[in-house]
Amino acid sequence: MPSVDWLNFHHLRYFWVVAHEGSVSKAAKKLRVTQPTISGQLADLQDSLGEPLFRRAGRNLELTEMGERALRIADEIFALGDQLLDTLRGQATDRPQRLAVGISDAVPKQVASRILEPALAARVQLVCREGPPARLVADLAARALDVVISDAPSSESGAHAHLLGESSVSVWGVRRLATEMRVGFPRSLDGAPFLLPGASTAFRRELDEWFLAHKIKPRVVAEVEDAALLSVLAESGAGLYATPDVVIDAAKPRGVDRAGPVKTLRARYYAITVERRLAHPAVALVAGAERLFAGRASTHPRAISTDVHRSRDP
């Protein structure tokens, strides 16, 4: 991708309007210019960036992945521009502080919700995106996100992981399965129906190591990337699953009992930022989530910024 020494904000505004309107013709009417003018401006912007921002979808235009990233940044730029104009005109602005959060799909919804509670209580306007950690960290590097909540630190250069806390882990299942597994736990799990998290997650890798250490080969019923779906399947009786105890405390699922503890396993949650220190006030609120892990974990007194290559506990 060629380097961009400067950005033409006139071109960027044309892109921004087209992206929100969905077509060049609608944007032309709104901006009161001709369609060829807008098409030319878009072509210049895409040439300068070195990547396409749109693809054709019938008569309309559809954003590419790069276009989606560019739009999120453009939204921020023009919102700040409006705020600047309000300030210069002496107009009081009560716009809420905005925080763009990426949430790894391996992080249980209950945990993510509780981590975000302080920001919501402070009336911070949240923009939440879910997805694979690698894609979210790429958006973080592009400044399309302010923070990423993940179950593992990132190995990407320039990213810093702040440990929020850790939780003990247990095996859970419907009452019938849990009661059966308690006798001879954890050896009783050998051959038992099990629901596993996605193979790419840090939690899954550590769980596999625990199985191996105890010579356990569960009968894998399903591998599920989404933590919420995993718990729903377990509650339906499809199989057992290992989950952080803090998730059970937060969700209080009905009909699910504890089969036994996974003593050597800990689920850890991180706030990943591009700053070593938490400069963004709303990010600092999110990083104060240790109250969520009270009684279930050993936590730092405050979220501590650590370089990603040194952030995992031994």
Q: In the chain, where does DSSP find H-type helix?
A: 9-21, 24-31, 35-49, 65-88, 109-121, 133-141, 175-182, 202-213, 227-235, 245-251, 281-286
Q: Are residues 29 and 56 in the same domain?
A: yes
Split into its structural domains, the chain has a count of 2
Q: Are residues 165 and 47 in the same domain?
A: no
Phi, psi of 206, rounded to the nearest 5 degrees: -70, -35
Tell me the two tokens of residue 32. Answer: 């009161």
Boundary residue ending a domain (88, 104, 120)? 88
Distance of alpha carbon 221 from alpha carbon 251, whole angstroms: 23
* pLDDT at res. 85: 63
Boundary residue ending a domain (57, 88, 119)? 88
**Domain containing residue 101:** 96-306
* pLDDT at res. 91: 53
pTM here? Answer: 0.62
Report if residue 263 sits inside a domain: yes
Q: Are residues 161 and 295 in the same domain?
A: yes
Q: What are the pLDDT digits (tens) for 175-212?
A: 999 999 999 999 999 999 999 998 888 888 899 999 99
Query: What is the C-alpha radius of gyration for the chain, rounded to an integer number of angstroms?
Result: 23
Question: Which residue stretches of the chain have pLDDT < 50?
Answer: 1-4, 295-314
Distance of alpha carbon 252 from alpha carbon 208, whole angstroms: 26
For 141, counting Cβ atoms within 10 Å of its Cβ (0-12 exposed, 13-18 middle, 19+ buried), the class is middle
**Cross-strand partners of 103:** 130, 149
Tell me the two tokens of residue 263. Answer: 């003593």
* pLDDT at res. 248: 82
* pLDDT at res. 310: 32
Cis peptide before 314 (omega within 30 of 0): no
Closest CA to 108 of 249, 10, 2: 249
Distance of alpha carbon 163 from alpha carbon 305, whole angstroms: 7
Report if residue 196 sits inside a domain: yes
Report if residue 299 sits inside a domain: yes
Measured on CA atoms in the order 117, 121, 122, 125, is the torsion positive or negative? positive
Report if residue 3 sits inside a domain: no
* pLDDT at res. 76: 77
Report if residue 241 sits inside a domain: yes
Report if residue 108 sits inside a domain: yes
Q: What is the mean pLDDT of the chain?
A: 80
Boundary residue ending a domain (48, 72, 88)? 88
Query: Is residue 233 within 8 Å of 174, Cβ to Cβ?
Result: no
Decide the pairing of beta strands 256-273 and 147-150.
antiparallel
Distance of alpha carbon 64 from alpha carbon 68, whole angstroms: 6
